[in-house]
Amino acid sequence: MPRLPFVASCLLAFLLLVAGAIIAGPSMVPKGHPERPGYAPGEILIKFRPGASEIDRSNARVALNAARLRTFSSGAQHWRLGPGLDVERALQILKGNPAVQYAHPNYTIVPLVTPNDSRFGEQWNMLNVGQTGGVPGADVRATAAWDLTQGCGLGTPGCSRPIKVAVVDTGIASHPDVEANVDRSLSYDFADDDSSADPTCEFLQARGHGTHVAGIIGAIGNNGGGVAGLNWQTRMMALKIFSDNLPGGSSTAVAIEAIDYASSHGADVINASWVLGSCPAPCAPALYDSIQAAGAEGVIFVAAAGNGAIDNDSSSAPAYPSSYDLDNIIAVAATDANDQLWFTSPGNGSNYGQVTVDLGAPGKVVLSTLPGDLTAMPPEGDCNCEPFGPGEGCFELGEPKYETRTGTSMAAPHVAGVAALLRAVSPNASVAQVKSIILSSTDKLSSLQSKTVSGGRLNAFCALQTLIQDTDADGRGNACDNCATVYNPVQADGDLDGVGDACDNCPATYNPTQSYVGNPVVQVAYPNGGETLTINDSVNLQWSATDECGGVASVDILLSRTGAGGSYSTLFPNIPNTGSKTWTVTGPATTQAFLKVVARDPAGNLGNDLSNAAFTIQKLCTVCQGSYCSGEGARCNANSACMSGSCCSYTCVEDPSCTVPDPCPDNACGCL
């Protein structure tokens, strides 16, 4: 089902997406970071296989004109390559050397950037170590992402331009953790048509909604206090669309005006943590057109999926604008610290949709910035803000603070923040590229399968890595790709050893080093020498065949009647490796039979085993009981067996003493 487009225009109430009661109303070098090569130029680490001779080792080193710098306790060695030989070429040369167990670059190691913000330890959404009782790792991997870039603000070293994020919301209050990242010259109060956009006058009824959203996107990191946003440097545009003077808090027209303004003033990303209220599908084509036009200008539009715990795909009144079928919209569901889709009770939880909701991001109990509490104010007119209503006057906010909030309103700015980080690394990255990378680089979760387009939760680090280096172009950066050289967008990893099945020598067995010698070990169990099998009897052939991966998928069963070195015919080709197979014995008889089992492993290596010694295949025959035969010319031989052309008049019975070679003449009566 495609995303539903639009609809009838009307002045509609907007709903901010905070949990609880729904509130009516309001291959590149990372920019902004020193260049870090992925490995030390001209150096490799190498280890030889056990049994490799000194000549083999010396020849390998001489071929690269390499100097051995050190030998580690594991036997691995650190080499410096000869002049003019790069690491890639050296590894290519060593790849075909059977004496080498492994060789790889001398990868650089850099510390993960963990900010010193005083309350960062409470931000499970950025770094989840189980501090709230959740699952460690159920976060957006922000600390690893910050090692690549911390965003681009005005004058950030290494940045060609600041990245602008328009927070279309209730405004952004003046807060020490975000103020330096808010461009007040580009901010505007569309709700009250006030160019001053006084930060003191954030819409009271929203309780700091826009400021909380702004903190997730761009709270200043590593400043010793408070929290860290995804972008430590950025330029946020505080575009206020909610006011007490508008029915329901805001309107479609006001939102369109803000979106158009953001687009025309160079916004890279727009965050929309709100939905249209009472707007059944299709909904507000004028808003649809505005968002579409923004996309044409290169603006990524991130929208909250809604807090009604409904399926936006099938609902008669899905959440808009997130459900519009537009290429520049990224619709975001909310997850919790256990990587589950946020759900509190019917009607109170994250919306979802396999077609209309793109991915999940942390949205439950997320800590961020808030304005201070309301304090008393002088009479109306003494401050730069509109009154709540006749005679109520202005208001002032107390000391800024930090609190947790829950909702898809909190999930969306995580994605908006990562979109801004991607533009910080690549300012000219297209809308399609940014969206594709964010969706393809998610951590796949069972809780989001069939609930979102990507089936995963936002991963900031992997998104950046995908932009920086994605060798196989499968949408997963090499550093996050468990199969970096083979197109493998599903990232299937059956044995959870960190190597995707398409690149895994042992896809069914945990084997993180991926060492693989091949040559399956096969052992014939029966017949294994000395046995006697009788033609037409059923016997159970038995064997074992295993390899480093814990088993062999199929085997071939062969038989020689002329000794171990004789000619083998195939009894059973490519059968499952069950360890046994029933065989009805066939002739001719022999005393030099050998069974061979050939095993084939997943990499195509072969292994086989023969019976330890020859076994016998015999044919039983029958003889006549009595001393004469009847019929013209009939006669019996010395063993009372009927001669050729005779007809035995007595009952023929099986003679157990009949052995190879067969004593029965051809065509004699009773011979089997």
What's the CA gap between 102 and 585, in Å, rounded?
Answer: 48
Distances (CA, A) of 211 to 36, 208, 214, 370: 35, 5, 5, 6
For 611, phi then psi, to 5°, come to: -60, 145
List the catalytic residue out of 139, 175, 189, 209. 209
**Quick one: tokens of 348?**
């109170």
**Phi, psi of 370, deg, nearest 5:** -145, 150
Domain coordinates of the chain in residue numbers? 14-29+115-468, 39-107, 480-509, 521-618, 620-672
444: β partners: 456
* Amino acid sitting at position 279: C
Choose which CATH entry (1.20.1260.10, 2.60.40.3080, 3.40.50.200, 3.40.50.2300) describes domain 14-29+115-468: 3.40.50.200
Residues 406 and 19: beta-carbon distance below 8 Å: yes
Strands (E), 86-160: 100-107
Rounded to whole angstroms, what are the CA distances from 43 to 87, 262, 413, 664? 7, 49, 42, 78
Q: What is the DSSP letter of 474?
A: S
Q: Is 94 left (phi over 0), alpha (psi -120 to 50) or beta?
A: alpha
From residue 587, how far is each of 617, 657, 669, 672 by CA, in Å? 7, 18, 19, 11
Active site (annotated) includes residue 209:
yes
Q: Among this protein's residues, is 104 annotated catalytic?
A: no
Structure tokens at 30: 């990372």
3-state secondary structure at position 34: coil
> What pLDDT does residue 388 have?
39
Helix axes 431-440, 408-425, angle to 10 degrees: 120
pLDDT in tens, 410-456: 999 999 999 999 999 999 999 999 999 999 999 989 999 999 999 99
Rounded Cα distance between 44 and 41, Å, is 9
Residue 421 to residue 149: CA distance in whole angstroms = 7
pLDDT computed for residue 166 by the predictor:
98
pLDDT score of 608 = 84
Q: Please identify which residue in the block is written with the tokens 């190597």.
A: 499
What is residue 288's three-state secondary structure? helix
Q: Degrees (nearest 5) of the Cα angle 382, 388, 391? A: 65
CATH superfamily of 39-107: Peptidase S8 propeptide/proteinase inhibitor I9 (3.30.70.80)
User: Which tokens sit at 399?
Assistant: 């000391």
What CATH number has the domain spanning 521-618? Answer: 2.60.40.10
Kindly name the residue from 117, 147, 169, 443 that is annotated as catalytic: 169
Contacts (Cβ under 8 Å, ≥6 apart) of 219: 117, 177, 178, 181, 226, 227, 228, 229, 368, 369
Nearest to 156 by CA among 7, 57, 30: 30
DSSP SS3 for 419: helix
Equal fold, 39-107 vs 521-618: no
Q: Are 312 and 349 in contact (CB under 8 A)?
A: no
Q: What is the pLDDT of residue 248?
A: 56
Low-confidence ranges of the chain (pLDDT < 70): 1-39, 107-113, 194-207, 244-248, 278, 374-397, 490, 496-498, 505, 508-519, 548-551, 601-604, 620-672
Q: How many beta carbons lie within 10 A of that of residue 662, not counting itself?
A: 18
CA Rg value for the chain: 38
3-state secondary structure string, 377-389? CCCCCCCCCCCCC
Q: What one-character DSSP code corresponds to residue 357?
A: -
CB 183 within 8 A of CB 236: yes
Q: What element of type H or E holds 212?
A: helix 209-218
Q: For residues 583 and 537, what is the distance between their CA atoms, to the nearest angstrom?
A: 8
Q: What letters, b where the CB count within 10 A reaches 16 and e where it falls short, cover 640-655? A: ebbeeebebebebeeb
Q: Which residue has the tokens 């499952």?
A: 576
How far is Cα 313 from Cα 596, in angstroms, rounded to an integer? 59
**Active-site residue, 450 included:** no
| Whether 197 contacts 184, CB under 8 Å | yes
- Residue of 241, 244, 206, 200 whose CA lies nearest to 392: 244
Q: Which residue has the tokens 């291959």?
A: 27
CA 118 centroid distance within chain: 32
Given 250, 273, 409, 560, the catalytic residue? 409
pTM of the model: 0.66
CA triple 319-320-322, angle to 5 deg:
90
Closest CA to 209 of 52, 410, 27: 410
The DSSP output letter for 249 is G
